[in-house]
Amino acid sequence: MVQIALLAAMVPLAACSWMFSPETSLPGRHPFDLGEGRALCGECHEGRIKGVGKPFASFSHSPEFVRNHRLRAARDEQVCVLCHHGSFCNDCHAGKTEIKPSVKLGNRPDRELIHRGDYVSLHMIDGKSDPTSCYRCHGRANNEKCAACHRGGGRR
Amino acid sequence: MKKNLYRLLSAVFLMALPAAALADTSVDSATIFRFSQDSRPGFQKKDFTPATQFLGADFEKLGDGNLSLHLYGWGRYDLADKSYNNDRADGALTYAYAQYRTDQANGLIRFGRFFINEGIVNEHVDGLNVRSDLPLGFGISAFGGATVHTVHMPGEITDGKGDGLVGGRLHYRYKGMLELGVSGVYESDAPALNQASNQQLAASGRFGSHRLLGGDVWLNPHRMVEIMGHSSYNAETEGVAEHSYLLNVKPLKDLVLTGEFNEYRDRDLFFSSIFFAGLLDNLNDRSRTMGGRASYELNRMVEISGDFKHFTREIGKADRFGGDIRFALLDKALRTGVGYHYLRASRNFAVAPSASGSFHEARAYAMHDTKSYFAAVDAIGYFFKENINNKSSAWEVTGSLGCRLTPALALSGDVSYGKNPQFVDDMKGLIRLTYNMNYTGKGGTK
């Protein structure tokens, strides 16, 4: 019920095109490619990103940013797409894929890729200590391989 | 089903060809040949040589300059024994959408197959997405369409998802200090299931339709302090599924201190996944993680970080702590790093019949990248406190060597060797051909 009420409120809101904010949009792409390695926005930017309101520094790719990028991507994806095509995200996130990111990108040990080494052994421990993190990628998608061992539902 | 997919894929890529001539185009392609052998004693010897092609293309600045087209998908063909499932060939169209952006208000219309990440909503949709900033700091994003189904669950003729969905997010921003969002997704009824065990999941209120509602927050009360997070509510189980919050403090420009807190009710969170709902027998319901991290960027060349996380579940507790040091030298051409972590886990997180789930994880890597060639070595080892399948460790060393045939085209090969509890020893090879090209429609490449 609550969702329906929320959606009913959204539709007319979206339809009112005269209600658009007058602010200029972000550019489609960053003016140049930053290349490989840590993207540290503070090297070139100060202050806040106009239209988004958040400081450039808040997007600096520190280890914390990389680990918790989900909390940013869920709010400011227009910023991510300045530099990342969807395919970049899909190396790790996919509805269906077969190659582990660390194998596909075996030439990039500096990337913070998941499941390095023999993950089949390790996942049995990681999966028990924090299954919610696995759920984000394997919950409703990308779980074809799991079925080989986890037969009916998640039981073995 | 599969045939249709390939037809769709080729049709989409054919349509894209005329666009390529006009647009700012970027193509990224990776062709990967993998080689491995399954020679476990007691099993028939098998050779696997799957060839996988990933292909992505982005055509930007079409039409009045605001229209763009984005495509990505992959296909695999097994050159020797069947490698992954019962299909010698398989593939997926990951996304394919047209997008129009407005000059003002960060307005956007997307049509086709795409991923949505809005607040607590993360979906893969065949449909329409509209977003825009509104005056007075408000903004909206709404989407609707058909769910993108994946492979069927074992014994079922469904992946467990409903066929259609709608949702969106409404946000409010105040002066670069605060952002509040409400988001939700409503998926049509979850399908009926065949397997008795799965029917039991649905009957006992552990599996059902995907309907979530949530709120998210971002706060920047002081230059050095940032707080962000979200909470989600499962409208079907009428329970809070997730609280996930993060505090960042930056006392110095290059020092980041982080604290995080997450609490999950697994029944409410896993409710719309057959696979994970079924895991609850082994895992119980409530879990909580708390952690911290400190990282420091020293003169752009050295990065030091230390982290700690505490996991609490009904079946046990665990702590993970350790640190990483990374170096980027010679103007980033030489990158190396070492890392060490220890997971101290209680008995219930162990792999049966082992008595402990604790293990050490150690890693070291180095890579060198120049205009003409690139090389990398990577070693990772997991050392178990108690043996798993009579093995005290799982380790793997990977070497990779490649050359750039042209600035856009690169050929590389990886070899990895390791020993682990799954295989006696594990040797794998891979050949990778990548092509990454940017072409500006107005002439010239960049």
Give the whole-angstrom CA distance, residue B246 versus residue B263. 12
- pTM given for the model: 0.93
Give the whole-angstrom CA distance, residue B319 versus residue B290. 10
Q: What value of ipTM does the predicted structure carry? A: 0.91
Task: Check B106 against A26: CB less than 8 A apart.
Answer: yes
Q: Give the pLDDT score at B445.
A: 37
List all residues 6 or more positions away from B377 whose beta carbon is below 8 Å from its beta carbon: A109, B365, B366, B367, B397, B398, B399, B400
Give the whole-angstrom CA distance, residue A110 versus residue B99. 33
Task: Check B378 against A116: CB less than 8 A apart.
Answer: yes
- Of these ranges, A13-22, A121-130, B358-367, the one predicted with the greatest mean pLDDT is B358-367
Distance from CA of B14 to the nearest CA of A (A): 19
Of A146-150, B161-165, B167-171, B438-442, which gets the smallest average pLDDT? B438-442
Residue spans of the domains in chain A: they are: 38-84, 95-156
Task: Check A10 against B170: CB less than 8 A apart.
Answer: yes
Q: Give the pLDDT score at A126.
A: 94
Question: For chain B, what percent of residues have pLDDT higher than 90?
Answer: 73
Closest among B434, B409, B438, B443 to B25, alpha carbons compared: B438
Residue-wise pLDDT for B194-236, tens only, equals 999 899 999 999 999 999 999 999 999 999 999 999 999 999 9
Q: Give the pLDDT score at B441.
A: 62
Task: Check B92 against A11: CB less than 8 A apart.
Answer: no
Q: What number of other Cβ atoms are within 10 A of residue A12's Cβ? A: 9
B355 exposure class (CB count in 10 Å sphere: 0-12, 13-18, 19+) = exposed
Interface A–B counts its CB contacts (< 8 A) at 381
Residue B284 with chain A: CB contacts under 8 Å: none
Residue-wise pLDDT for B90-140, tens only, equals 999 999 999 999 999 999 999 999 999 999 999 999 999 999 999 999 999
List all residues 6 or more positions away from B307 whose beta carbon is below 8 Å from its beta carbon: A63, B291, B292, B293, B294, B320, B321, B322, B323
User: Residue A65: is its pLDDT beyond 90?
Assistant: yes
Residue B231 backbone dihedrals phi, psi, to 5 degrees: -130, 145
User: Which of A132, A153, A155 is nearest residue B264 as measured by Cβ atoms?
Assistant: A132
The residue of chain B with its CA nearest to that of A141 is: B150
Q: Give the pLDDT score at A131.
A: 94
User: Residue B5: is its pLDDT beyond 60?
Assistant: no
Give the torsion through C-alpha atoms of B392, A150, A91, B414, to 10 deg: 40
User: Which of B84, B198, B289 is nearest residue A98 as measured by Cβ atoms?
Assistant: B84
Residue-wise pLDDT for A71-93, tens only, equals 999 999 999 999 999 999 999 99
Complete DSSP assignment for B377-401: EEEEEEEEEEEETTEEEEEEEEEEE
Task: Check A129 against B85: CB less than 8 A apart.
Answer: no
User: Residue B439: is its pLDDT beyond 90?
Assistant: no
Stretch (H or E) spanning B58: strand B50-62
User: Which of A86, A136, A141 is nearest residue B150 as measured by Cβ atoms?
Assistant: A141
Q: What mean pLDDT is predicted for residues A96-109?
A: 95
Task: Check A7 against B366: CB less than 8 A apart.
Answer: no
Q: What mean pLDDT is predicted for residues B47-62?
A: 93
* Amino acid identity, position B376: A
Residue A9 with chain B: CB contacts under 8 Å: 170
- Contact present, B193 and B156 (Cβ < 8 Å): yes
Q: CA B365: distance to chain centroid?
A: 22
A17 exposure class (CB count in 10 Å sphere: 0-12, 13-18, 19+) = exposed
**How far are the Cα atoms of B85, B354, B389 from residue B392, in angstroms, in the given order?**
31, 11, 8
Res. A10 pLDDT band, cuts 50 70 90: low
Q: Give the pLDDT score at A2.
A: 53
Residue B122 with chain A: CB contacts under 8 Å: 74, 136
Q: Give the pLDDT score at B446.
A: 36
Mutate to test the interface with A, among B90, B102, B117, B367 (most CBs of A within 10 A): B117
Mean pLDDT estimate for chain B = 91
Q: What number of other Cβ atoms are within 10 A of residue B228's Cβ? A: 22
Q: Give the pLDDT score at B158.
A: 92
